[in-house]
Amino acid sequence: MAKPNSIAAASVGELIKAVLGGAYTLDPTELFATGAMWIAQSTKFPGTTQLYRNYYLLLRSGSAFGACCVERDDLPALVAEDLAGASLASLLADPRLPVRIAALDAYFGSVEPHRDAARATPWQLPLGTPHDRALARDRAIVSLLKIEPGQQVALIGVVNPLVQAIREQRGVCLPCDFNLRQTQWGDPVSNTMEPALDAADVVIATGMTLSNGSFDHILERVRARSVPLVVYAQTGSSIVPQFLDHGVTAVSAEPFPFSQFSAEPSVLYRYQ
């Protein structure tokens, strides 16, 4: 019997265990990280005060990239020098969570690339400035849900264009972020997500919740409350779709190379 391309996993740990146990179509011992990269990147839009700092671990396996955005001190910048040539199976057993996430993303990018996924719809981002492209990306995310006027939207991982896009649908944004203290408009940003998860009618979260270990808790809370969850994923763009119908309602998946690294038209994939 052919192995499935998806199973019902309750957590990221269960998903990794299933991959290592041979539950999927490809053997992770036969897939290798032929390239590894560490990227430090910052963004500041003209006329704003917010400086975004991003740090990425990227693994290439065949035609797929696995991506994990991390906090500045989560991994040393030289980490990528040690990973090239390793099997994805060995990297999925690495004690460092970001390495496991990048390897799992590369694995599912090989099992079912976005371009071949039955539930994925391509969405083209336009030629333009970083702000133009970020705003188009964030509107694509919000369009995955019908936000009713007055609904409370927990935003876990804050980017200002996404706050703006929620407001345009007349939702009430409940912003949460470890690194930001206020939005571009002066709204306070909470450094804990629990009150927002308790109050929200809708939850929107970044894929970086995979790399900081909070994704499983968010899944547990939205399942318990039957609340829709949309994930916008650069980190783990191929991982999050594995949880569709098992806590995740929709995904805006943006594989590497990300929109901020080019002005040219590019494609993200929306899953519903």
Q: What is the pLDDT of residues 214-269, one digit of tens each?
A: 999 999 999 999 999 999 999 999 999 999 999 999 999 999 988 888 899 999 99
Per the structure, the complete domain to which residue 39 belongs is given by 12-113
Residue 79, pLDDT above cutoff 80: yes
pLDDT at 213: 94
Shared-domain flag, residues 90 and 225: no
Shared-domain flag, residues 57 and 150: no
Classify residue 162: in a domain, yes or no: yes
Shared-domain flag, residues 150 and 266: yes
Classify residue 44: in a domain, yes or no: yes
Choice among 39-48, 91-100, 229-238 with the minimum mean pLDDT: 39-48
Shared-domain flag, residues 140 and 31: no
Last residue of a domain, one of 78, 113, 148: 113
Classify residue 246: in a domain, yes or no: yes
Classify residue 139: in a domain, yes or no: yes
Last residue of a domain, one of 113, 128, 153: 113
Residue 52, pLDDT above cutoff 90: no
The residues, ordered by sequence, that sit 6+ positions from 192 with a Cβ below 8 Å of its Cβ are: 176
CB atoms within 10 A of CB 132: 15
Classify residue 26: in a domain, yes or no: yes
- First-last CA distance in the chain: 28
Give the pLDDT band of residue 6 (cuts 50, 70, 90).
Answer: low
d(CA 54, CA 19): 29
Choice among 105-109, 143-147, 246-250 with the minimum mean pLDDT: 143-147
Classify residue 2: in a domain, yes or no: no
pLDDT at 149: 93
Q: Residue 241's domain is classified under what CATH number?
A: 3.40.640.10
Classify residue 239: in a domain, yes or no: yes
Shared-domain flag, residues 55 and 135: no
Classify residue 5: in a domain, yes or no: no
Return the C-alpha torsion angle 216, 222, 226, 227, nearest 10.
-140
Last residue of a domain, one of 113, 148, 174: 113
Shared-domain flag, residues 49 and 127: no
CB 177 within 8 A of CB 157: yes
Domains of the chain: total: 2
The residues, ordered by sequence, that sit 6+ positions from 249 with a Cβ below 8 Å of its Cβ are: 144, 145, 228, 229, 230, 272
Shared-domain flag, residues 166 and 199: yes
